[in-house]
Amino acid sequence: MGAHAHVHPPDPVPHSSLVSASHPGLPLNDGKLHVLLAATGSVATIKVPLIVEKLLRIYEPSRISIQIIVTEPAERFLPAADKPLPASIHVWRDSDEWENWSTRSDPIVHIELRRWAHLLLVAPLSANTLAKIANGLCDNLLTSVIRAWNPAVPILLAPAMNTYMYTNPLTKRHLQIIQDEMDWITVLKPVEKVLACGDIGMGGMREWSDIVEVVVSKFPPPLYPKKSDVVDSQGVVQDKPRHNTPDHAGTGHIRFQDPESE
């Protein structure tokens, strides 16, 4: 499919088996586009507030809800950002996984985040988290969300790493595994630039404004928000199947999106 194929919202499908009550901070039936934005250990994390601000401006706060996951290394970079995150944006950390759970009927945070999201955008994606995704590791909140992901829902990955990390043979292998085995994932090819460490070469995160444009192309504002959540008579959220998107249907492979092809 083309680089700007739209993702159409799924139709609600009843589900017979009950699941745990949803986390109160993750309402499924609020009629908004749900963007789960994650940041990992790269200085490009400082661009996260800019991505959030632009998405809020395009969709307006009444039509989009953004939740953020940060890994421990990513959190160290946030204070260096040019502007803070809006106070209304909730930031999820590894500790939230256990602080929100004490008994078997409590919400499981990584599952609730997966149910809530219409899109997962990991920007920036470090070499370390790329390796975890490719090898199925799930030792923190973000990688647990990704391991438990519904493959009918898109994930965008925006790698950001040193040139020699990016050109390392293991990086090529990890990207190939994702391409061959995880066709719900689109990798946004990094760019050549002067990196934060002073090196010049490939590996810089795609320009943050271009990443926003990819999100907008998948979820055009005129089509969103649309309600597609199933809640039973007792107010218990049902885990809802989603239809495959045009980007996934019948290809068997992910699209490695090259900025030059846009």
29-87 pLDDT, tens digit per residue, is 899 999 999 999 999 999 999 999 999 999 999 999 999 999 999 999 999 998 999 99
Helix (H, G, I), strand (E, B) or coil at 76: helix
Q: What is the mean pLDDT of the chain?
A: 82
Listed in sequence order, the residues at least 6 apart from 155 whose beta carbon sits closer than 8 Å to its beta carbon are: 119, 120, 121, 122, 146, 149, 182, 184, 185, 186
- Look at residue 207 and tell me whether its pLDDT is greater than 80: yes
- The pLDDT score that the predictor gives to residue 182 is 98
- Look at residue 18 and tell me whether its pLDDT is greater than 80: no
Give the strand pairing for 185-188 and 33-39.
unpaired
E strand intervals along 106-248 = 119-125, 155-159, 185-188, 191-194, 200-204
pLDDT confidence of 247, banded at 50, 70, 90?
very low
Helix (H, G, I), strand (E, B) or coil at 149: coil
- The pLDDT score that the predictor gives to residue 8 is 55
In percent, the amount of the chain with pLDDT more than 70 equals 76
Q: Is 180 exposed, middle or buried (0-12, 13-18, 19+ CB in 10 A)?
A: exposed
- The pLDDT score that the predictor gives to residue 99 is 86
The catalytic site residues sit at 197
Model confidence pLDDT, tens digit, residues 162-177: 999 999 999 999 999 9
Name all domains of the chain by residue range, CATH numbers in brackets: 33-261 (3.40.50.1950)
Cβ-contact 37, 121 below 8 angstroms: yes
Q: How many CB atoms are located within 10 Å of the residue 215 CB? A: 23
| Residues written for the chain | 262
What is the token pair recorded at 147? 């391991």
Model confidence pLDDT, tens digit, residues 124-154: 999 999 999 999 999 999 999 999 999 999 9
pTM: 0.79
Q: What are phi and psi of 19, to 5 degrees?
A: -125, 180
Q: Rounded to whole angstroms, how far apart are CA atoms 173 and 179?
A: 10
Angle between helices 208-218 and 48-59 (to 10 degrees): 40
Q: What are phi and psi of 126, to 5 degrees?
A: -80, 165
Listed in sequence order, the residues at least 6 apart from 181 whose beta carbon sits closer than 8 Å to its beta carbon are: none
